[in-house]
Each structure stands twice: as C-alpha cells, then as structure tokens.
Structure 1
Amino acid sequence: MTNANEQPRKRFLALDTATATLGVAVTEGGRVLHEINASGERNHSVHLLPIIGEALQASGGSEMLDGISVGVGPGSYTGTRIAITAAKSLAWGWKLPVVGVSTLQALAWGGWNAGAGSPDEAAAGQERSSDGFGPDWIVPLLDARRGQAYTALFAVDGGSAPQRLAPDRIRLMADWVQSLAERLDTAKAIGECPRRLWFVGETAVHGSGELLGPLEGASELRVLPYELEGRWVGFLGEARHASGDIDDVHGLIPNYTQLAEAEANLLKAGKGGMKSR
C-alpha cells in the first residue's frame, strides 16, 4: 500500500552535463513526464537552456515545478559546472529548492536498468539464495584519461536506488580492479558475494577483458556501454527532495574529485593562493 493518493505529487526538473550526454528530464512521483538526452559533441553550454525550455513546454511549464535536481559530477570539469550554474540560477529566480546528486550513482542506476533486461532476469540477478549470493554490484565508469576513471561502487537490490559501497573518486583502474577483487573475496567469505558485477558507462577504455582479468570467476561480469539518461538524476533528486535534505542554493558546488590540471600546476608552482606546508 502506498501513500500516493494521500499526498500531492511533486514535479521536478533534473539536469546533468557532467558526461558527454546532456540530460534533462521532468519527473513526477517516480515517472518521467518528459526527457531529452542529447549526446555527441560536448557543447552543453549552448544547448542546455533551449532543451530545458523544450522540456518544460512539453510538461506544463516552470510554474508546475516544485524543485530542481542536478548532477554534481564527478565528470567533465567544465561540463559539470554548466548544469550546476543553470540549476542554481533557475532555483534562485523561481524560488525553488535545489538538490545535488551523484552523477555516478545516476549512471550506475541507469546502466543497471538498461542491462538487467526483463524482470525475470533482474530478479535472478538479485536473488539471495542458499548458495550465498547477494545483490548485484555496479561499477560506473567515466574516463578520466591516463589509465584513470571516475568511478564508485554500488549495490542494487530490487527497484530501489543503488546503495553506495565506495565513494565517488578518480582512481587508477588497475589498482581499482585489484581492490574490487579483494572486496569480492571478503564478500564471498561472509556469503554476500554478488551474483553479477556490472561495469557500466564509458567502458570502451576501461572494460577490456585483460584489465578485468583479476575479477574472472568471482562473479559473473557484465560490461555495458551506457550513456546517462536524465531520468535517473531526477529519481535520485526526488528522494532527496522528499526527505527534506535540500542544498543551499549558494553553497551547491561540483564534486570534481580532483583539481583541474591547470589549477594543479599553479598550486605546484606556488601561484594558486594556497601554499604547501
């Protein structure tokens, strides 16, 4: 039994520009009213506002909104700032609450849903049967160059949002795979090893069989190229809005997980306003 009829449904605008895909969605009560995902060249600053306008026009206009959700990264250094700047400006101008959500968590949720397929297959992957398997694990991937990826680790159980097992960080993939292998050994020892281990997102560089070799045999490996869809940012944002965990519109900042290369070089040279001790 739900309380869907006891409380008015609330409508939210969701934005994310941290990846190669510009995602915009309008969600209400866990469903998508309108969604536009534009993939291709990273020219999000040009296209974001027109796409927001199109999505709002198709779903009733800005006066119908109860809040805004935005992906805070990690991902593209410049791209992440575009959606956050837009979300903060719109929230301030329209006097709406705003929440930031993890782009990697949204990527994990969307990638798993895209790959799990039929309800029967999804249920089979989540069974905690007598043979000691736990929920699927999901590793979202966004390429960060030089053998690195923006990544994290989540567990998914049913239709709920993936639960975090490791924080969003930039990691050297070779080291991350070894760390995952150790986690799998530990999970197996206590009867909670996932039946399937998903790698989703930008897998072309970091999802090769050679790189993932240390994980073979511990769980069924699934490698799925996936481009983020705005709806998953929206669904994560709905949960934060519902809980009352709202961000300060002025204090909301991107989760870069690292300094841009230019800033890092300035700091090394002692010209960035911060001095090492």
Structure 2
Amino acid sequence: MNDEEVRPRQRFLALDTATAVMAASLLEGSKVTGEVNVQGERNHSVHVITELERLLSDAGVSGRDITGLAVGVGPGSYTGVRIAVTAAKTLAWAWKVPVAGVSTLHALAWGGWAHGQTGLGDKSVPLQASAVQWIIPLLDARRGQVYTGLFAANGEQAPVRMEQDGIRLMTSWVEELKRRLTDTDEGSRPRVLWFVGETGVHAQTAAGLEAQAAVQVVPYELEGGWVGRLGADRLLNGEQDELHTLVPNYTQLAEAEANLLRQR
C-alpha cells in the first residue's frame, strides 16, 4: 500500500493561462481525473472561471472538495500569467487551501516530450531507455526571442531542471547550447535534443544543433494535466507558496514599463 492509499482523499485543481491555451486539470492525488484545454487567443479572463466550474461540475465535485491548487506562474504572456495567478490565489483564499506555483515551461517540457514519444516528432529516432535526452521548451516572445529553459528527460517522472527559465534570443541560446554540449563529457552528452512548444519560427535555428545531436522539433500546446502533475508533486510533498507573496515569473518588464523607463 503506497502513501496516497492511506491518506485522506486529496483533490487538486490546476490551471495555467501563460500561453494561448487556458489549460486546467483536476487530480486525485497524482492521477489526472479531468482536463480542459481551451484556445483563447490569450484572452483567458473571459472564460477561465466558467471553464473551471465546468471542470468541477463534470467530475461531480465542488470547491469544498478541493484540498489544494496548482498554478502555472509563467513565463509567458504578461497579461495571461496574471489571470491564472490571480484566480488561483483568490480561490485558495476563498477555499482556505494551499497553493503551489509551477513553471509553465517545466510543464510544457514534460508534456511536449511525452507527446514526442508517441512518434509525433518530425523525425523518428530509435532510442534506448537509458539514452540521455535534453528538452528545450519554447514559447515565442517575438523579435527573435523565446521564453525557454533546459531540462533532462526523466522517464515517467518530471524532467529534471538544468537551467533556469528566462527570455533569450534564439540564436544566442542555440550557441549557448552548442558550448554546453561541447563541454559535456561523452557519457553525459544527450543523444537527442527535443525542442517542444511554439517551435514554428524557430525550427530552422534549432536545426543548427544537428551536428551535435539528433534534433527533434515537436510543435505542442500546453495541456492542463502536466501542470497538475507538477503541482501535485509539490502539494503531496507538503510544499506550498505563501499566498500573498506568490507572483508571476515575468522574466522581463512589460513593454509599457520598459517604454516608460526609456522615456525617463
């Protein structure tokens, strides 16, 4: 009998609005029992509460049954990130339950890599189960920039973080990855690099790493289940964020703020 079987039933609600998808999920322990992913053109404030209510209703549960909340804190759309964080903090306060923030890019990396394992990548690469694989999630930040990070695949578990989330020029990021690959000893060097997420305009730049490793490019939209699984990992381990100090990870100033600083 595992720990989850002897604990009281724990239901978690997770949401993320940092991308073009309003992604949400419902979990019992670490098991995803419901999920909704709605394209909103980053106008998620219109339907986020309605979709969460529908998710709970379809599962036959209410806010009184929720024992914890998980929320994607970005990086991503400046306005979008705030919607999910504000909604999660409000619900956590109203329901008097803990809230745990998770990286949107971490969830994107996990989901995109899992999606790629189904053979939906743009190439077929035979792999041994023990083969080292790196995952590079991408969210387009315009002007040749991406929100990105670096993770190592970890089987069925959440990918292991190797680099902090940030906004980078895609060309510079590829050069940095080249240097990192060169400096990595042979036994730890990845056989495959997975670029997942909003890959469209950046696929050609990513291909510049094909001399170092097999490059898999997987267009992928975030799904709520992966946000939920990351959040459940934290909540089941007794981790949570302080409600009033939980803030989005913007990684850069909003354009309006940057313009104001330049004017000054």
Q: Please state which band the TM-score falls in when normalised by the shorter chain.
A: over 0.9
Q: Find the counterpart in structure 2 of residue 96 from structure 1.
A: 97
Could you give the per-residue CA deviations for residues 52-109 of structure 1, whole angstroms, max 9, x where no partner exists? 1001112211111111000000000000000000000011111111011000000000
Q: Find the counterpart in structure 2 of residue 150 from structure 1.
A: 147
CA contact (8 A) 1:177 1:214 kept: yes
CA contact (8 A) 2:78 2:254 kept: yes
Task: Tell me the TM-score normalised to structure 2 length.
Answer: 0.93
Could you give the per-residue CA deviations for residues 190-223 of structure 1, whole angstroms, max 9, x where no partner exists? 4111121100000001112xx1243113221110
- The one-letter code of the counterpart of 1:201 is G
SS for the counterpart of 1:207 is: helix
Q: 1:138 aligns with which of 131, 135, 139?
A: 135
Structure 2: gaps spanning 5 or more residues: 120-125
Distance 2:165 2:114 in 1: 20
Structure 1: gaps spanning 5 or more residues: 119-123, 129-133, 271-277
Distance 2:150 2:127 in 1: 17
Distance 1:126 1:99 in 2: 34
Superposition deviation, residue 268 in structure 1: 2.4
> 2:214 matched to 1:214?
no
SS for the counterpart of 1:228 is: coil
> 2:197 matched to 1:196?
no
SS for the counterpart of 1:182 is: helix
Distance 1:116 1:255 in 2: 29
CA contact (8 A) 2:195 2:206 kept: no
SS for the counterpart of 1:152 is: strand
Distance 1:110 1:177 in 2: 22
CA contact (8 A) 1:125 1:136 kept: no
SS for the counterpart of 1:96 is: coil
Q: CA RMSD in A?
A: 1.8
Superposition deviation, residue 154 in structure 1: 0.2
- The one-letter code of the counterpart of 1:82 is I
CA contact (8 A) 1:69 1:237 kept: yes
User: After alignment, is 215-224 or 103-112 more displaced?
Assistant: 215-224
Distance 2:152 2:45 in 1: 33
Task: Tell me the TM-score normalised to structure 1 length.
Answer: 0.89
Q: Find the counterpart in structure 2 of residue 245 from structure 1.
A: 239
Percent identity, aligned pairs only, is 55
Superposition deviation, residue 135 in structure 1: 2.3
Distance 1:26 1:79 in 2: 20
